[in-house]
C-alpha cells in the first residue's frame, strides 16, 4: 500500500486502499425503555476480514491503524460504509472520545441524521449508498461482482448479544457484506476511471465533475456567464421562495375508482413520458443565464410612475426575453372552472405569516382549489411565482390581490460548455441501448459483454438525469457539526440566514473555483417542466387526465385526443434540438413518448396508484405506493430468498399460500379493487428508525454485559395503512369578483 498525493500543490495524501466497514446491531424490543447495541463490527482492509464484537475491540484496531500508517489531517484513510448515518450513530461517540484529533473534525450533513461525510484527523468516513444510489444487493448484481451480498440469512427479530455465539450463516452474512462492498467499490472506481483521490462524495458528484471540467475548458464561461448571474440576498430569497420540484397529482374526480377506458367512452388507456425531460428543458427552453434586475416594486414611486398599475399580462409579455419571479399578495383565489382536475396553486408555497388559521381552504393533494378569509378577517398571504407558473395560474384561477414586486432575469442561450455535456450523455444513452441489444443478440442475456453494456447504459442514464440536481444545488446551505462530549449529540447549525450571512455565503459561492452553475437556472427548469405538463394536459382535457408525476401522464384517450397530442408533439419537434446517433438517426429532445397502454387505472393520491397492463401471460398489476416496499423476504428456500410483493399482498396472497404454492397467481383485478385508503399491509410494512445516544458505557440486558453508546433502532412495523392525504375540506366560497388581471 502507498499514499497518493491529492494534487501537485495539495499536501493531503490518501492511502490507496479503503477500509470497508459494516455493523450488525440489536435492540431489547422494550418500547418503554428501548436500548440498542452493536452485535458485530465487520471490517475488510488490505485483503483481510475482521469480525469484532464490541466497540472497544474496533477502537483498539483503529488506534493501531492510526499509529501504523501515521494517519493525520494530511495522511488520510477513506472508510466506506453503505448506510453511514446508521453505522456511525453507534460508533461516533467512541470515535470522538477515544480516537485522536477530535478538534480536527469536519461534518457534512443534510440534516441531523443524514451524514454525507465525517472526517476526524486521518479518518475519512464516506457513504457508498450516497455514491451509488443503490442497495448493496442491487449494486452487487448490477456490477456483477464476485462476492454477492447474502440475503435472508440474518434473523433481525432474534435478540443477539455481544457474547452470543454467531452461527456460520450469520458469520457468512457479516463477512459477505464487507467483501461485496469492497468488490463494488473497486468496480465503481474502475467504471468511472477514479482512484481514492478523485472519487466524489455523492452520485451527483460525477456529473458535477464532468460539467466543471467542461466549463473550465471554456475560457469565457466563468466571466461572461457565471459571474453575471451572481445573486444578491433578496433575489436569492425570491428564487428560494419560488422554487419547487416536479408536479405530482391525482384526479380528485376519479379518486378511488377503477377507471376502465371503455366504460368512460374512450378507446385507450394511455401512458406517456417526456424523453429526458429536464435535459430537454435545459437544452431547449429560455433560461436565466444572464443578469437580473428589479422590474417592478410597489414601494418605489419611480416604478409606480413608470409602470402604473402593473398587470399579469405585462409580466407575461416579458417572456421569452426574460424569466420572471413575481411576489403576489393575495386575499383570495379560486379555480375559474371547478372541473379542473389538476390545480397548480401549491399550498406549501403560500406564506401566511402566522395567519393560516384565518383562512378557509379547499385543498386537493396539497393544491389549492379555493381559499378565502374567514368571516370577519382581512388577511393576506404571499406567494412567489415564476413566469410560466404565473401563466398557468392566470389561466386556471381568479385571484384577488396585489402585485408587490417583480424580478426579471435575462434569458440567454445555454452555454456550449454545458450543452455539449448534455448532448454527449443524451447520445450515449441511445448508442448504448443499441450496444446492449447487439450484445444480447450475439452473446446472450447474461454474458459478461451484455452486462458491461448494460452497466454503461445505466451509467449514462444516471449521469444525464443527475444534471438537474447539479443545477438546483442551493448555494446557501446550513452547516452542521456533531459533538458527543455532551450528554447527547449536539447538532450545531451555523446556517447563514440573515441578509449579511446570505450575502457572505453567496460571495463565497461565486468566488469558489469549484462552483460554476447559477442556482436560478435550476429553479426555472422545474417551472418549465410544469408548463409543458400543463400544455399537454390541457390538450388531453381535464376530465381525461387521471394522474401525472413530474414527466409523465396517465390519461383516457381516443383517436381525436391522440391527434391533438401528436400535433402538439410535432410543434415541439420543430424547434427541438437533436443529436445524431451512431446509426445516423436524428434523436430529438422534447418528445412526449408512448409507454405501455393500460387496461385499468386506480389512483388515490400523489405517489399512490395502480395500473393493469396486458402482460405476456395475461393482465398484470403494477402498483406504486409511497412508503410501502415493493417486496419483502418471507422465507429462504435452498439459500434463495422468497419474496411477497405488495401487489400479491393486495390480492390477498398470504405467506402460507406463497410458500406452499410458489406458482400461485394473483388476481390483478381483485388486487386493484382492494387498493384503497383503508388497506392495511402486514407483510410489506417497511421499517421505522429511532435515534438516541448516550455516553459510552456498559449496560445490563437480560444478564448480558453490553458496551453501548446508543445508536439507531430500526424496527419493522407490524402493519402499515395506506393513508388519505387529500386533506380536502369542503367550503362554500362567496368572493367579491375583484380579479387580479
Among 227, 268, 362, residue whose Cα is nearest residue 557? 268
Segment 142-155 mean pLDDT: 81
pLDDT at 143: 87
What does the alpha-carbon distance between residue 696 and residue 94 come to, in Å, rounded to a whole number?
7
The stretches of 317-415 forming alpha helices (DSSP H) are: 387-396
What does the alpha-carbon distance between residue 79 and residue 407 come to, in Å, rounded to a whole number?
46
pLDDT tens-digit map of 439-495: 888 888 778 788 888 888 888 888 898 999 899 989 988 777 787 776 555 555 545
Of the chain, the percentage scoring pLDDT greater than 90 comes to 73
- pLDDT grade for 738, boundaries at 50, 70 and 90: very low
- pLDDT grade for 724, boundaries at 50, 70 and 90: low
Statement: residue 362 has pLDDT above 80: yes
**Are the beta carbons of 581 and 427 closer than 8 angstroms?**
yes
User: Which secondary-structure segment (H or E) carries 244?
Assistant: none
**Are the beta carbons of 522 and 474 closer than 8 angstroms?**
no
Statement: residue 309 has pLDDT above 90: no
To the nearest 10°, the Cα dihedral for 152, 157, 158, 162? 90
Among 149, 154, 151, 90, residue whose Cα is nearest residue 125? 90
Statement: residue 142 has pLDDT above 90: no
User: Which secondary-structure segment (H or E) carries 298?
Assistant: none
CB neighbours of 396 closer than 8 A, spacing ≥ 6? 335, 336, 337, 340, 343, 344, 345
∠ CA(514), CA(515), CA(519), 5° rounding? 165
Positive or negative, the CA dihedral 563, 568, 574, 579 is negative
Statement: residue 551 has pLDDT above 50: yes
pLDDT at 481: 77
- pLDDT grade for 737, boundaries at 50, 70 and 90: very low
Q: How many CA atoms lie within 13 A of 709 on its CB side?
A: 23
pLDDT at 491: 56
pLDDT tens-digit map of 405-450: 999 999 999 999 999 999 999 999 999 988 988 988 888 877 878 8
- pLDDT grade for 153, boundaries at 50, 70 and 90: low
Q: Which residues on adjacent β-strands are paired with residue 402?
A: 329
pLDDT at 490: 55
Average per-residue pLDDT for the chain: 91
pLDDT at 598: 96
pLDDT at 445: 79
pLDDT at 31: 85
C-alpha cell at 273: 413520458
Among 703, 608, 598, 684, residue whose Cα is nearest residue 646? 684
The stretches of 114-158 forming alpha helices (DSSP H) are: 128-132, 136-143
C-alpha cell at 670: 381483485
pLDDT at 734: 41
**Are the beta carbons of 13 and 6 closer than 8 angstroms?**
yes
pLDDT tens-digit map of 643-665: 999 999 999 999 999 998 888 88
Positive or negative, the CA dihedral 540, 546, 549, 552 is negative
What does the alpha-carbon distance between residue 229 and residue 288 come to, in Å, rounded to a whole number?
8
User: Which secondary-structure segment (H or E) carries 39?
Assistant: strand 36-45
Among 264, 281, 318, 319, residue whose Cα is nearest residue 296? 318
**Confidence (pTM):** 0.90
Statement: residue 684 has pLDDT above 90: yes
What does the alpha-carbon distance between residue 123 and residue 130 come to, in Å, rounded to a whole number?
18
pLDDT at 735: 39
Residue 599, number of CB atoms within 10 A of its CB: 18
Q: How many CA atoms lie within 13 A of 565 on its CB side?
A: 27
Q: What are φ and ψ of residue 447, in 5° steps?
A: -70, 155
Looking at per-residue pLDDT, the higher value among 483 and 198 belongs to 198
Statement: residue 721 has pLDDT above 70: yes
Among 529, 511, 469, 513, residue whose Cα is nearest residue 110? 469
- pLDDT grade for 253, boundaries at 50, 70 and 90: very high
What angle separates helix 233-242 from helix 519-540, to the nearest 10 degrees? Answer: 30
Report the length, in residues, of the chain. Answer: 741
Among 269, 276, 323, 320, residue whose Cα is nearest residue 295? 323
Segment 618-638 mean pLDDT: 91
**Are the beta carbons of 139 and 203 closer than 8 angstroms?**
no
What does the alpha-carbon distance between residue 21 and residue 339 come to, in Å, rounded to a whole number?
56
Each domain of the chain, given as residue ranges in start order, spans: 3-202
Q: What are φ and ψ of residue 118, in 5° steps?
A: -135, 125
Segment 586-603 mean pLDDT: 96
Segment 224-238 mean pLDDT: 94
pLDDT at 732: 40
C-alpha cell at 126: 464516506
Q: What are φ and ψ of residue 377, in 5° steps?
A: -105, 150
Q: 3-class DSSP state for residue 156?
A: coil
**Are the beta carbons of 728 and 364 closer than 8 angstroms?**
yes
Segment 384-392 mean pLDDT: 96
CB neighbours of 629 closer than 8 A, spacing ≥ 6? 646, 684, 685, 686
**Are the beta carbons of 286 and 411 closer than 8 angstroms?**
yes
pLDDT tens-digit map of 558-576: 999 999 999 999 999 999 9
Give me the CATH topology for the region 3-202.
Nucleotidyltransferase; domain 5 (3.30.420)
pLDDT at 736: 41
Pairing of strands 322-335, 367-373: antiparallel
pLDDT tens-digit map of 23-50: 999 999 888 899 999 999 999 999 999 9
Q: What are φ and ψ of residue 601, in 5° steps?
A: -140, 145
Residue 693, number of CB atoms within 10 A of its CB: 21
C-alpha cell at 625: 405506493
Statement: residue 740 has pLDDT above 70: no
pLDDT tens-digit map of 73-82: 999 999 999 9
Three-state SS string over 528-571 comes to: HHHHHHHHHHHHHCCCCEEEEECCEEEEEECHHHHHHHHHHHHH
**Are the beta carbons of 324 and 408 closer than 8 angstroms?**
yes
pLDDT at 181: 97
Determine which of 149-153, 251-255, 358-362 has the lowest per-residue pLDDT on average: 149-153
C-alpha cell at 241: 421562495
- pLDDT grade for 304, boundaries at 50, 70 and 90: low
Segment 136-153 mean pLDDT: 86
Q: 3-class DSSP state for residue 277?
A: helix
Residue 425 class from Cβ within 10 Å (0-12 exposed, 13-18 middle, 19+ buried)?
A: buried
Amino acid at each position: 500500500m502507498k499514499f497518493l498525493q491529492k494534487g501537485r500543490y495539495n499536501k493531503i495524501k490518501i492511502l490507496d486502499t479503503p477500509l470497508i466497514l459494516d455493523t450488525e446491531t440489536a435492540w431489547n424490543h422494550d418500547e418503554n425503555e428501548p436500548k440498542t447495541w452493536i452485535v458485530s463490527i465487520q471490517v475488510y482492509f488490505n485483503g483481510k476480514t475482521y469480525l469484532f464484537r464490541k466497540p472497544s475491540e474496533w477502537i483498539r484496531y483503529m488506534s493501531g491503524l492510526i499509529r501504523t500508517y501515521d494517519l493525520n489531517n494530511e495522511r488520510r484513510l477513506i472508510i466506506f460504509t453503505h448506510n453511514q448515518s446508521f453505522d456511525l450513530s453507534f460508533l461516533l461517540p467512541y470515535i470522538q472520545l477515544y480516537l485522536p484529533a477530535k478538534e480536527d473534525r469536519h461534518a457534512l450533513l443534510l440534516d441531523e441524521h443524514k451524514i454525507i461525510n465525517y472526517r476526524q484527523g486521518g479518518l475519512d468516513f464516506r457513504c457508498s449508498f450516497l455514491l451509488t444510489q443503490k442497495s448493496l444487493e442491487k449494486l452487487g448484481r448490477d456490477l456483477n461482482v464476485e462476492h454477492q451480498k447474502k440475503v435472508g440469512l440474518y434473523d433481525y427479530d432474534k435478540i443477539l448479544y455481544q457474547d452470543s455465539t454467531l452461527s456460520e450463516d450469520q458469520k457468512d452474512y457479516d463477512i459477505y457484506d464487507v467483501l461485496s462492498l469492497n468488490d463494488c467499490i473497486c468496480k465503481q472506481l474502475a467504471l468511472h476511471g477514479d482512484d481514492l483521490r478523485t472519487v466524489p462524495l455523492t452520485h451527483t458528484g460525477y456529473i458535477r465533475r464532468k460539467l466543471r471540467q467542461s466549463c473550465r475548458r471554456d475560457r469565457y464561461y466563468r466571466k461572461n456567464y457565471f459571474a453575471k448571474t451572481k445573486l444578491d440576498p433578496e433575489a436569492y430569497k425570491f428564487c428560494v421562495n419560488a422554487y419547487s420540484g416536479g408536479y405530482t397529482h391525482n384526479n380528485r374526480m376519479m379518486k378511488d375508482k377503477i377507471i376502465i377506458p371503455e366504460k368512460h367512452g374512450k378507446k385507450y388507456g394511455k401512458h406517456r413520458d417526456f424523453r429526458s425531460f429536464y435535459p430537454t428543458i435545459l437544452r431547449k427552453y429560455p433560461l436565466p443565464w444572464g443578469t437580473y434586475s428589479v422590474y417592478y416594486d410597489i414601494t418605489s414611486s419611480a416604478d409606480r410612475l413608470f409602470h402604473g398599475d402593473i398587470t399579469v399580462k405585462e409580466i407575461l409579455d416579458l417572456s421569452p426575453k426574460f424569466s420572471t419571479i413575481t411576489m403576489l399578495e393575495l386575499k383570495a383565489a379560486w379555480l375559474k372552472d371547478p372541473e379542473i382536475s389538476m390545480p397548480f396553486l401549491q399550498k406549501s408555497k403560500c406564506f401566511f405569516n402566522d395567519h393560516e388559521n384565518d383562512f378557509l381552504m379547499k385543498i386537493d393533494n396539497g393544491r389549492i382549489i379555493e381559499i378565502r378569509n374567514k368571516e370577519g378577517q382581512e388577511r393576506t398571504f404571499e406567494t412567489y411565482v415564476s413566469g410560466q407558473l404565473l401563466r398557468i395560474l392566470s389561466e386556471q384561477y381568479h385571484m384577488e390581490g396585489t402585485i408587490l414586486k417583480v424580478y426579471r432575469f435575462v434569458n440567454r442561450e445555454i452555454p456550449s460548455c454545458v450543452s455539449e455535456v448534455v448532448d454527449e450523455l443524451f447520445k450515449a444513452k441511445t448508442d448504448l441501448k443499441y450496444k446492449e441489444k447487439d450484445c444480447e443478440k450475439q452473446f446472450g442475456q447474461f454474458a459478461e459483454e451484455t452486462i458491461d453494456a448494460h452497466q454503461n447504459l445505466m451509467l449514462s442514464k444516471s449521469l444525464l438525469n443527475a444534471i438537474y440536481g447539479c443545477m438546483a444545488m442551493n448555494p446557501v446551505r446550513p452547516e452542521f457539526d456533531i459533538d458527543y462530549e455532551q450528554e447527547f449529540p449536539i447538532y450545531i447549525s451555523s446556517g447563514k440566514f440573515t441578509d449579511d450571512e446570505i450575502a457572505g455565503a453567496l460571495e463565497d459561492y461565486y468566488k469558489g473555483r469549484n462552483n460554476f452553475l447559477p442556482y436560478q437556472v435550476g429553479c426555472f427548469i422545474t417551472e418549465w417542466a410544469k408548463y409543458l405538463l400543463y400544455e399537454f394536459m390541457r390538450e388531453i382535457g381535464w376530465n381525461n387526465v387521471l394522474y401525472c408525476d413530474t414527466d409523465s401522464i396517465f390519461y383516457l384517450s381516443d383517436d381525436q385526443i391522440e391527434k391533438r397530442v401528436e400535433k402538439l408533439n410535432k410543434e415541439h419537434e420543430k424547434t427541438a434540438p437533436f443529436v445524431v446517433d451512431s446509426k445516423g438517426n436524428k434523436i430529438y429532445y422534447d418528445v412526449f413518448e408512448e409507454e405501455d397502454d393500460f387496461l385499468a387505472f386506480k389512483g388515490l393520491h400523489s405517489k399512490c396508484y395502480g395500473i393493469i397492463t396486458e402482460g405476456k401471460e395475461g393482465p398484470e398489476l403494477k402498483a406504486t405506493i409511497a412508503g410501502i416496499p415493493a417486496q419483502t423476504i418471507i422465507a429462504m428456500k435452498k439459500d434463495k430468498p422468497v419474496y411477497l410483493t405488495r401487489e400479491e399482498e393486495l390480492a390477498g396472497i398470504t405467506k402460507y399460500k406463497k410458500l406452499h404454492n410458489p406458482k400461485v397467481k394473483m388476481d390483478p383485478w381483485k388486487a386493484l379493487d382492494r387498493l384503497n385508503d383503508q388497506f392495511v399491509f402486514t407483510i410489506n410494512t417497511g421499517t421505522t428508525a429511532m435515534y438516541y445516544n448516550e455516553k459510552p458505557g456498559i449496560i445490563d440486558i437480560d444478564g448480558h454485559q453490553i458496551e453501548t453508546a446508543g445508536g439507531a433502532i430500526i424496527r419493522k412495523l407490524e402493519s402499515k395503512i395506506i393513508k388519505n392525504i387529500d386533506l380536502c375540506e369542503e367550503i362554500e366560497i362567496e368572493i367579491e369578483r375583484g380579479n387580479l388581471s
